[in-house]
């Protein structure tokens, strides 16, 4: 594993040299926008998966917070490519974060100078093969309390509590319901269920519209599967699902084998989930030319 490094407002430095004054307002109120991005090994060297979409979502989140970016799309793209080249890793994770950097707390100070930092560290295979999840006692943030489609630091208080509670009960992750009592998402992943004739996933409204979620919907439709974005009750999830899986940049695609006291697919990873995971793996590693436009090669 090569050393972790960081890009701070245009300068690349060792991980340990990263700086941030603790009295900035973003730190205190969760007013920051960030992304989680992976890059993978391919035959042509490392490639960043769906970088353009991640940068676009970062700008969207910043916009929601009233945070005009000091860097444009091209600057950030170049910065990430440069980081990966310098880091010398062929697989890893990139974490850009934008925040209000004035050394002065107070909500009204969340509007001054804006800083962007980008951390880079190595990340190979996702460790877990399957997940045991529990329906959370915490509700997913209501869409009228904030913009749930923005990836904003403060939103993660909600999923932190849900995940902590799930783990304390011996589960790997939490499934949060939305304000209607229907399935929303996991702590940092979207959810899909395989039914008899179709694959379903919660509709947009109370969820982060994950880039992995969008990728899976497209891959499935391109391969003539029926995918529906719809509201899913907890009862329907249990009663009508042959398979369940979670997906996200960090998880990629991981089967759920248990939901509270119920086993899913007899406790085994599902067949179709494995098929989808394989399709996804081929795409991220540059083995499916139809999706070459989703990869940004670093070499």
Binding site for ligand PMP (CB under 6 A): 36, 159, 185, 188-190, 208, 210-213, 248-249
Shortest approach of ligand PMP to residue 95 CB, angstroms?
Answer: 11
CA atoms within 13 A on the CB side of 218: 11
Shortest approach of ligand PMP to residue 40 CB, angstroms?
Answer: 14
Q: Is the CB of 130 or the CB of 159 nearer to ligand PMP? A: 159
Q: How distant, in Å, are the alpha carbons of 14, 55, 56, 155 from that of 75?
A: 20, 10, 13, 27
Three-state DSSP class for residue 167: helix
Shortest approach of ligand PMP to residue 105 CB, angstroms?
Answer: 26
Shortest approach of ligand PMP to residue 250 CB, angstroms?
Answer: 7
Give the bridge partners for 122, in sequence order: 92
CA distance 153 to 86: 28
Radius of gyration of the chain from Cα atoms?
19
Q: Is the CB of 208 or the CB of 259 nearer to ligand PMP? A: 208
CA distance 58 to 35: 6
Shortest approach of ligand PMP to residue 17 CB, angstroms?
Answer: 27
CA distance 69 to 225: 39
Q: Is the CB of 37 or the CB of 89 nearer to ligand PMP? A: 37
CA distance 145 to 64: 13
Query: Nearest residue by C-beta to ligand PMP?
Result: 210
Q: How distant, in Å, are the alpha carbons of 7, 33, 150, 158 from that of 172?
A: 32, 26, 25, 16
Q: Is the CB of 101 or the CB of 134 nearer to ligand PMP? A: 134
CA distance 33 to 97: 6
Q: Is the CB of 90 or the CB of 185 nearer to ligand PMP? A: 185
Q: How distant, in Å, are the alpha carbons of 25, 86, 118, 179, 266 from that of 81?
A: 29, 9, 11, 40, 44
Shortest approach of ligand PMP to residue 37 CB, angstroms?
Answer: 8
Shortest approach of ligand PMP to residue 113 CB, angstroms?
Answer: 26
Q: Is the CB of 160 or the CB of 290 nearer to ligand PMP? A: 160
Shortest approach of ligand PMP to residue 212 CB, angstroms?
Answer: 3
Residue 30 CA, chain-centre distance (Å), reads 18
CA distance 8 to 293: 28
Q: Is the CB of 109 or the CB of 188 nearer to ligand PMP? A: 188
Q: Is the CB of 248 or the CB of 255 nearer to ligand PMP? A: 248
């Amino acid at each position: 594993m090569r050393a972790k490094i960081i890009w701070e407002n245009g300068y690349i430095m060792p991980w340990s040299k990263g700086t941030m004054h603790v009295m900035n307002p973003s730190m205190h109120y969760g007013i920051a926008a960030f992304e989680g991005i992976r890059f993978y090994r391919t035959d042509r060297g490392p490639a960043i998966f769906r970088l353009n979409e991640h940068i676009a979502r970062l700008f969207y989140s910043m916009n929601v917070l009233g945070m005009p970016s000091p860097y444009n799309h091209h600057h950030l793209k170049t910065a990430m490519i440069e980081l990966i080249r310098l880091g010398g890793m062929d697989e890893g994770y990139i974490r850009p974060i934008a925040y209000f950097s004035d050394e002065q707390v107070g909500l009204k100070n969340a509007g001054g100078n804006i800083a962007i930092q980008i951390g880079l560290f190595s990340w190979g295979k996702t460790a877990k093969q399957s997940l045991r999840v529990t329906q959370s006692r915490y509700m997913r943030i209501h869409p009228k309390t904030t913009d749930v489609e923005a990836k904003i630091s403060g939103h993660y208080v909600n999923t932190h509590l849900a995940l902590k509670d799930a783990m304390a009960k011996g589960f790997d992750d939490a499934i949060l319901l939305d304000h209607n009592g229907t399935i929303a998402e996991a702590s940092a992943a979207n959810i899909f269920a395989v039914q008899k004739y179709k694959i379903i996933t919660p509709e947009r409204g109370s969820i982060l519209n994950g880039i992995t979620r969008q990728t899976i919907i497209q891959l499935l439709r391109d391969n003539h599967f029926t995918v529906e974005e719809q509201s899913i009750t907890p009862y329907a999830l249990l009663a009508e699902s042959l398979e369940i899986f979670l997906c996200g940049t960090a998880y990629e695609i991981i089967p759920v084998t248990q939901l509270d006291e119920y086993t899913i697919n007899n406790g085994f990873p599902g067949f179709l989930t494995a098929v989808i995971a394989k399709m996804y793996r081929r795409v991220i590693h540059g083995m499916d030319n139809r999706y070459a436009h989703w990869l940004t090669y670093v070499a």
